[in-house]
Amino acid sequence: MTIRTILVPTDFSQSSTLALDAAKDLAQKFQAALHLLHVVQDPLSQSWALESYGTMPADLLKDLEQMARKDLDKALPKARLNTEVGAPFGKIIDYAKAHDVDLIVMGTHGRGVLAHAILGSVAERVVRFAPCPVLTVRAK
Per-domain residue ranges of the chain:
5-138
* pLDDT per position as a tens digit, 74-99: 766 666 778 888 888 999 999 999 99
What is the amino acid identity at position 86? Answer: G
97-124 residue pLDDT tens? 999 999 999 998 755 555 444 445 888 8
Task: Convert 30-42 to b/e letters by CB count within 10 Å (16 or more is b).
Answer: bebbbbbbbbbbe
Give per-residue pLDDT as tens, 38-69.
Answer: 888 766 555 545 555 555 556 766 777 777 77
Query: Which positions ≥6 away from 41 have C-beta within 8 Å?
Result: 85, 86, 87, 88
What is the assigned CATH class of domain 5-138?
alpha beta
DSSP class of 54: S
More confidently predicted of 78 and 18: 18
Closest of 97, 99, 94, 92 to residue 136, by C-alpha:
92
